Structure 1
Amino acid sequence: MATDRVRPDACPGAIDVHQAADGGLARVRVPGGTLSAVQFDALRTAALELGDGTIELTSRANAQIRGLKPGAEHELGGRLREVGLLPSMTHERMRNIIAAPLDDNQALVDAIDAALCAVPELAFLPGRFLITVGHAVSGLAGDIGLVGDALFLAGRDSGLRVTDPVAAVVTAAKAFQQVRVNAWRLSEVDDGVRKITDIMGVPGPPEIEPAVTPVPPGVHGSAVVAGVPLGRLDARLLAGVPVRLTPWRSLVLPAGSDTTGLFTSPDSPWHGVSACTGRPGCAKSLADVRADATRWIESRNAGARSAVHWSGCARRCGRPAGDVVEFVATGDGYEEIR
């Protein structure tokens, strides 16, 4: 269904920060979620020295630094450029690539990212634009996705099969920019998938169902997946450790890493629970949802049976994909939505 957007999207970037109630909010895109130890240390140090001392993990496997003072985004941008986390000033907001975090796919992600940034007109893609790589994340409503040689469009198997995945993603992104008018997402464009397949070739029948396969906390071969309580990481943790961010607000770490302050069991009461920023960081929030969610979690002794998300207002920011039990602040308590 077509959506007539009357303004550009307001997604923040690392330089074009959002002025929140608690200061500047910078969103650092991390295509594929992989950060070397040097990159992660630069991010941690920036959060400690320029922000509020925490790193927020997002549902797109990006990172946010809050509490920036006016002008601090310029210092932040310089630090990010030095370690390769801001390769393009013009394209930085559209560099949203979620990859299946336990797959060997970072080289493909890097090639896609570099190819997109090399096309000047793609700098104008919306900040909501999203690419997925891998079956485990194919159901996260990407505008463009890859599952093996299958090209996904608007979160579904388009029927197209590709031999050059990087070129195919670039072609699809250029086609989306051509047909989107004011839309932020491909799903908002009337007959958008057909318009792109008309440009790219004749599709066969779709064969692959999209999936969302969260990686549970715990040991996975030579890695350990550590959950971050409510997606808010103390930036003093994990010095000198390479990490991979996941869209489930967890971290893939080398086995044997110090996981103090994190959780590594799916039985943890923190597992499966997320929350928006809430008060005092968000002026629109009707409650301190993180404090309320923490009290609720600490009253339990096991992980949630299904995903649970706490929201400070009806916008329900940060809600995970899929079936979620929601607690939405009303100004007079919470409404439970199932």
Structure 2
Amino acid sequence: MSTTPAPPPDRAAAGAGAPSAGPVRERGDACPGALRLHAADDGALARIRLPGGLLTVRQASALARIAEEFGDGHLDLTSRGNVQLRGLPADCGGLLAERLRLRGLLPSERHDRIRNVAASPLCGLDSRPFDSTSDPEVAPADVQAWARELDGLLCADDAPVDLTHLSGRFLFGLDDGRGDIVALRPDVTLIASGSGHADLCFGTTGSGLRVSAADAPRAAVLAAAEFLAAREACGSTAWRVRELPAGQRPSAARLAERLTAAGIASTLLPDSRLPLGEPPAPGLVTCPDGTCSLSVTAPLGRLTVAQWRLVVRMAAEEGDQTIRVTPWRGLVVPGFPAEEAPGLLADLAGAGFVTSAESAWHRAGACAGRPGCAKSLADVRADAAACLASGQAAGAAALPVYWSGCERRCGHPGGGPWVDVLATGDGYRVTVQDGHRVMVQDASRVTVQDEDGGRQDAGPRTVTTAGLAGAVAAARTTT
């Protein structure tokens, strides 16, 4: 594995005292799905899970039709590479399921909400080299192929372990070695080693196991089963691996025994230090075969049906008939002739997509806010859009920024650090947080210019919308 430092240990696991079973919950998680709709103030919400973010153009066209016929005419991209439809009639569940089933978007009703699989979206599309220990004669692992196989295993009715007990928040991460998915802090992480093997671990720290790449998806399923066993053993209701106390978490040694019983050979990796990488930047991606991929993001994670159909039409007519939805609320569309790609990217920019890392809209997101969410204290999308359109761009090196309408911070970025813009009812509180949602005290102190031209400390106090653009721009350039 890489020697790049791993993320710091979970702070929830620190502390003295008797071992506990982690957080106690009286009910299961309320994550929506294609069948379990969420009742929002603007109508029902459905979350369509796309393992690995993979879509065919026929599937993408079907989603556009559903959003137009039943929903509010928009498609929201989530932080796990899924698609959400809002404004649906409360009684449309049966018809929605039928439409999705016809296009292969609902392969199993029992397993719908556990199909949470994120995969490196640029796998096979760029010339990223593997580390020096890789065997140049062995082709890099195709994590998209892993995603398809893993999805099939998750949906199998004859699986040896009933994985339907997993929470809708449990995440499988399939990383091709660049570290982009590792940064999302999955519960079960598979990372391609570049030598015909995959490294498997719980979360992103601690001991891991090396398995054959051919066995990787099956090993990931057994890792999830080991989590369920560990959770049951300590009487926990934890949804995620990191919610279990350190001494109660599933171990690589116990997982190795489970793999051996299933006929999967493994090697213990005592110190799993996984690489941390960046998400794909918007722009053109040059592929090894000479073609280009288009990488774009949706402004605040939301696209109109017209924008979505423009991408679908490009993929169908000039691309390779596929679309990859990224966990950073973006799209990667492969297979374009190199001479045509720049013009197509310009067309997407003209349609309102984010196509440059220099844009203030790059790595900016927001929850639904008012009027869609009753708990929100502000129309965060409108305030975020006004802030980002002010011209105070932060540049390509800017921290991610996320507007939240309440303390729940639904959909906030994984990993860190990131700028937290939280509605308070009389403005916003602007702070910088790390990946564990602990304020970085020094970095949270941003300076903005007041109306009289003086300088004042703006963090972590509440900032009115009039001063928000400056506070956010300053926070995003915090080091």
Fold match, TM over 0.5? yes
Which secondary structure state, in structure 1, belongs to the residue aligned with residue 300 of structure 2?
A: helix
Q: Which of residues 181, 187, 195 is equivalent to 2:242? A: 187
Q: Which of residues 28, 34, 38 is equivalent to 2:48? A: 28
Distance 2:268 2:202 in 1: 12
CA RMSD, 1 decimal: 1.7
Q: Which of residues 191, 196, 201 is equivalent to 1:147? A: 191
Q: Which residue of 1 aligns with 2:268?
A: 203
1:210, distance to aligned residue in structure 2 (A)? 4.1
Question: Are residues 192 and 44 of structure 1, via their aligned partners in 2, closer, same or farther at CA, if it must alter by over 3 Å?
Answer: farther
Question: Are residues 297 and 80 of structure 1, via their aligned partners in 2, closer, same or farther at CA, if it must alter by over 3 Å?
Answer: same
Q: Which residue of 2 aligns with 1:248?
A: 328
Which secondary structure state, in structure 2, belongs to the residue aligned with residue 176 of structure 1?
A: helix
**Cα deviation digits, residues 57-100 of structure 1 (max 9, x gap):** 00001100000012112221111111111001000001000001
Length-normalised TM-score, structure 1? 0.95
| Correspondence 1:331 to 2:425 | yes
Distance 1:156 1:110 in 2: 26
Question: Are residues 125 and 207 of structure 1, via their aligned partners in 2, closer, same or farther at CA, if it must alter by over 3 Å?
Answer: closer
Distance 1:199 1:308 in 2: 37
Question: Are residues 188 and 197 of structure 1, via their aligned partners in 2, closer, same or farther at CA, if it must alter by over 3 Å?
Answer: farther
Distance 1:98 1:228 in 2: 18
Distance 1:193 1:200 in 2: 14
Aligned pairs for 1:167-178 within 5 A: 167-178=218-229
Q: More displaced, 45-54 or 156-165?
A: 156-165
Higher Cα Rg, which structure: 2
Q: More displaced, 176-185 or 79-88?
A: 176-185
Give unpaired runs (5+ residues) of structure 1.
none
Distance 1:232 1:284 in 2: 20
Distance 1:212 1:193 in 2: 26
Aligned pairs for 1:256-335 within 5 A: 256=341, 257=344, 258-259=347-348, 260-303=351-394, 305-321=398-414, 322-335=416-429
| Correspondence 1:81 to 2:101 | yes
1:159, distance to aligned residue in structure 2 (A)? 2.4
1:152, distance to aligned residue in structure 2 (A)? 2.2
1:193, distance to aligned residue in structure 2 (A)? 4.0
Q: More displaced, 299-308 or 271-280?
A: 299-308
**Cα deviation digits, residues 168-225 of structure 1 (max 9, x gap):** 1111111112222411011112334444532324733224324142111000012010
Number of matched pairs? 338
Q: Which residue of 2 aligns with 1:214?
A: 279
Which secondary structure state, in structure 1, belongs to the residue aligned with residue 183 of structure 2?
A: coil
1:153, distance to aligned residue in structure 2 (A)? 0.6
Which secondary structure state, in structure 1, belongs to the residue aligned with residue 242 of structure 2?
A: helix
Distance 1:155 1:192 in 2: 16
1:293, distance to aligned residue in structure 2 (A)? 0.3
Which secondary structure state, in structure 2, belongs to the residue aligned with residue 136 of structure 1?
A: coil
| Correspondence 1:55 to 2:75 | yes
Q: Which residue of 2 aligns with 1:166?
A: 217
**1:121 is aligned with what amino acid?**
D
Which secondary structure state, in structure 1, belongs to the residue aligned with residue 294 of structure 2?
A: strand
| Correspondence 1:137 to 2:231 | no
Q: Which of residues 305, 327, 334 is equivalent to 1:235? A: 305
Which secondary structure state, in structure 1, belongs to the residue aligned with residue 306 of structure 2?
A: coil
1:229, distance to aligned residue in structure 2 (A)? 0.3
| Correspondence 1:72 to 2:152 | no
1:37, distance to aligned residue in structure 2 (A)? 0.4
State whether residues 172 and 200 of structure 1, in contact with CA within 8 Å, keep that contact through their aligned partners in structure 2.
no
Higher relative contact order (CA 8 A, sep 6+): 1
1:24, distance to aligned residue in structure 2 (A)? 0.3
1:113, distance to aligned residue in structure 2 (A)? 1.0
State whether residues 399 and 419 of structure 2, in contact with CA within 8 Å, keep that contact through their aligned partners in structure 1.
yes
| Correspondence 1:101 to 2:114 | no
Which secondary structure state, in structure 2, belongs to the residue aligned with residue 156 of structure 1?
A: coil
Distance 2:248 2:62 in 1: 40
| Correspondence 1:224 to 2:294 | yes
Distance 1:335 1:193 in 2: 35
Q: More displaced, 313-322 or 154-163?
A: 154-163
Which secondary structure state, in structure 2, belongs to the residue aligned with residue 203 of structure 1?
A: strand
**1:248 is aligned with what amino acid?**
W
Length-normalised TM-score, structure 2? 0.68
**1:158 is aligned with what amino acid?**
S
